[in-house]
Structure 1
């Protein structure tokens, strides 16, 4: 990927990092202070972790605010910055590729997710991993705090995805997810990938765990995507994911002879 700038990475001992919290942001300067302070609080209850913010070509002071917050409350913060907008999926892949943790947690940077929910979800993932295959854990938003039109559009999109992909997830686009870094990096990269992770992970044998989480109103600003944009792009991506799943053939086991 071209056009990537690192904003003075913080000092960190790779060997001590078990979890990387990856957050893609675009023009979120006003929301970041609360998000980062809640992250600092949440990390007290988490395994050894780092926070990786990926700025996807913001036109405001997002990077400068993050640099200030790193000094004020979040010394483990790393900041990666795209020189132009590439999309949320590309930003997440940038952060996950650069991450040092075995486990990845993703949340949004607009304040609608509560980072303090991460402890429960990480524990669920780790317990499941001790029983067998490491899972994808999805924080399902049971009571959405978005406007009516967006809630209706999301309900329709989730219903259509479940019907066509049978991914067993009631909220596939939920921002809060926990999974292993190596599992994510096996997936094909395309913009919109983050909305189809349950279906794509399932194609690689990764089990799904869903757990309810709280959802809050956006602190400042507005969503970068309209319902029309989501609908048009989402249908195209849905057809592409159906094709990918149909063409993914993996062995149940491999042995060296």
Structure 2
């Protein structure tokens, strides 16, 4: 691996000790041996959000056999958005692919997102996974359906699924966005607010292999109401101005 890989795969985790090794194996299988411009020049950046199980120990044990792997550790639990931002800030790649650490996202979809980037205009800075065949419980799918409908109505971000963990975006564009807790759920709207275009790409979705979900429908809904108001305010108050050097 070179000092400056073209792609950084960022994976936030909290209490996912049994999902760490299988997911890292899938990431390396999906990306090793590909052309550098097609994801072959990559690093894997795991952010352990102060797990209370053996997640950190499992990651540290894997480093010897996975030279692409880097491990960052939050000394206090800080949440998924902060973990993603920690990983992006530490990343060496100009482009970032994110995955949820529970294994429900398929790393084999990363090359699909890279291929979509190759055929898209340069102003498209975010390629968002779209789970067309979700493998969650009925109640979770129902709650997500209504949450997505309300979000689209309020934010007009033309995105069918913002909760999907697999995304591909430009590092510099992400770091220019306003940061707040839970921002990872609103990346399409925030990118569009910044003047960039976004594209939703159908991806695979799988049942959780091990462990339990860290969210429930109630806490998602309570947090989501405040977040939607805040993001809507940001969009109303945002301004994009073209600049030409004279």
TM range (shorter): over 0.9
TM-score by length of 2: 0.95
Q: 1:63 aligns with which of 56, 79, 83?
A: 56
Q: Distance in 1 between matches of 2:244 and 2:64?
A: 50
CA distance in 1, matches of 2:173, 2:8: 14
Structure 2: runs of 5+ lacking an equivalent: none
1:77-92 equivalent positions in 2, closer than 5 A: 77-92=69-84
**2:194 and 2:219 mapped to 1: Cα distance?**
29
CA contact (8 A) 1:138 1:176 kept: yes
1:25 counterpart residue number: 13
CA distance in 2 between partners of 1:149 and 1:118 (Å): 28
Distance 1:183 1:122 in 2: 17
1:48 aligns with 2:37: no
**Paired residues for 1:29-178 under 5 Å:** 29-44=17-32, 45=34, 46-72=39-65, 74-128=66-120, 131-178=121-168
Q: CA deviation at 1:171?
A: 0.2
Secondary structure of the 1:21 match is strand
Structure 1 residue 255 corresponds to structure 2 residue 205: no
Query: Paired residues, what number?
Result: 241
Query: Contact 1:137 / 1:177 at 8 angstroms: preserved in 2?
Result: yes
Q: CA deviation at 1:204?
A: 1.1
Question: Shift in Å at residue 39 of structure 1?
Answer: 0.8
SS at match of 1:80: strand
Instruction: Decide which moves more: 43-52 or 216-225.
Output: 43-52
User: 1:180-215: per-residue Cα shift (whole Å, max 9, x none)?
Assistant: 000000111111100000000001121111111110
For residues 219-256 of structure 1, give each alpha carbon's deviation from its aligned partner in whole angstroms, at most 9, with x where no partner exists: 111111111000000111000000011111120x2122
Q: CA RMSD in A?
A: 1.1
Could you tell me how far apart the structure 2 residues matched to 1:103 and 1:80 are?
Answer: 19
- Separation in 1 of the partners of 2:124 and 2:160? 20
Separation (CA, whole Å) in 2 of partners of 1:97 and 1:180: 12
Runs (4+) off by over 4 Å: none
Separation in 2, partners of 1:112, 1:183: 26
Distance apart, 1:64 and its partner CA: 1.0
Q: Secondary structure at the match of 1:93?
A: helix
Shift of 1:166: 0.7
